[in-house]
Amino acid sequence: MSILEVSHLTKAYSGKAVVDDLTFSIEPGEIFGLLGPNGAGKSTTMMMIAGQRRPDGGSILLNGHPVDDLTAGHRLDLGLVPQEVAIYPDLTGRENLEFFGQIYGMRGARLRDRVDHVLADIGLTEHAHQAVSTFSGGMKRRLNFGAGLLHEPRLVILDEPTVGVDPQSRSHLLESVQRQADQGRAVIYASHYMEEAESICDRVAIIDAGRLLKIGVPTELLENSHSNVWIEVLATADRIAPGLKGVADVQSVNDHEAQVVVRRERRDHPAEFSRRVSAVLEQLAAADAEVLSIETRDHNLEQLFLDLTGRNLRD
């Protein structure tokens, strides 16, 4: 039985749909990546799953029970770790966890044991008695994460858990997330770091404008994708872009160099793709653009994400 079932979920603000007929399910022990650009509907979806916003339509079942009608006991099956750090700077790390544990109804020996366990899991045992105001950004993120695990939820929702942290803290957080899944917990992992999602998620859902574009195992989503050709040239992007319109993507590297990307579509026959690459090189030669380097790069989740959601900057 799925730990979470989201079916035909919808939500609109001022008549504009921000979540549009979204359907997916998550199994126990699964890390499920929720990926999308700014404004895609990720946060709204997670808030509805957490019961903090009411959907306009569709259903959300946690362990078979509607989220908007959960008993106090069933609500403890869910742990939410928000993107904003929601801990108290004047309290120590231990005091913060004790406070949140009491909110979850824990007392006495069980509370002490859980706080000790979580502190060890997030790597903050040695800093347990320091005021959080003295913590680094990565330490605060790890404590924020730990607060959502105290009550041993069956589903953990993580909203951009590694934003702004150092590489060591990011690595530790990712290892902690994997341990939660290994212990049988389901994890919703929302992130804009595609390499993280590709490495840690069992499945990913790519959404945009509230709609589901792709869902599946990262390797399966990419198995029919092909390598792109990247060409570095000594020329300005403005000078060469007109002649390559519709054939290749051109972007500036600096005031003197540009990058040309020939993207291989799934429908491309190898011979046709080779002809397109040759045509691009001929056009660059005609424009007197000196080729500095040529390389192929395997398609990855970030490129798939950009292909599906577009490459324009969004606010």
In the chain, the domains with their CATH numbers are 4-222 (3.40.50.300), 228-298 (3.30.70.100)
Which whole number is the average pLDDT over 23-41? 94
- Tell me if 273 sits within 8 A of 264, measured CB to CB: yes
**Left, alpha or beta for 60 (phi > 0: left; psi -120 to 50: alpha)?**
beta
pLDDT reading at 307 higher than 80 = no
- Return the beta strands (E) in 27-147 as ranges: 31-35, 57-62, 65-66, 78-81
State whether residue 188 is helix, strand or coil. Answer: strand
Task: Give the integer Cα–Cα distance in Å for 127 and 172.
Answer: 15
| Mean pLDDT confidence for 239-257 | 91
Tell me if residue 67 falls in helix, strand or coil: helix
- Residues 155, 62 contacting (CB under 8 angstroms): yes
Per the prediction, the chain carries an average pLDDT of: 90
Confidence check: pLDDT of 144 > 70: yes
- Model confidence over 172-181: pLDDT tens digits? 899 999 999 9
Residue 313 pLDDT greater than 70, yes or no: no
Task: Assign 123 to helix, strand or coil.
Answer: coil
Query: How large a percentage of the chain has pLDDT more than 90?
Result: 66
- CA-to-CA distance for 209 and 255, rounded, in angstroms? 35
The answer to which of 229-238, 289-298, 301-310 has the lowest mean pLDDT is 301-310
**64-76 pLDDT, tens digit each:** 989 887 776 777 8
Mean pLDDT of 193-198: 87
Sign of the Cα torsion 207, 211, 213, 214 reads positive
Lowest mean pLDDT among 21-35, 127-141, 225-239, 256-270: 256-270
pLDDT at position 272: 85
Which of the four pLDDT bands, split at 50, 70 and 90, describes residue 165?
confident
Structure tokens given for 176: 């902690």
Residues 6 or more apart in contact with residue 211 via CB below 8 angstroms: 20, 21, 22
Confidence grade of residue 225 (pLDDT, cut at 50, 70, 90): low
Which residues are CB-neighbours of 177 under 8 A, at least 6 positions away?
Answer: 31, 158, 161, 187, 189, 200
**Cβ proximity of 46 and 207 under 8 Å:** no
- Residue 172: count of CB within 10 angstroms of its CB: 22
Rounded average pLDDT over 177-196: 92
Do residues 101 and 117 lie in contact, with contact meaning Cβ atoms separated by under 8 Å?
no
306 confidence band (pLDDT: 50, 70, 90): confident
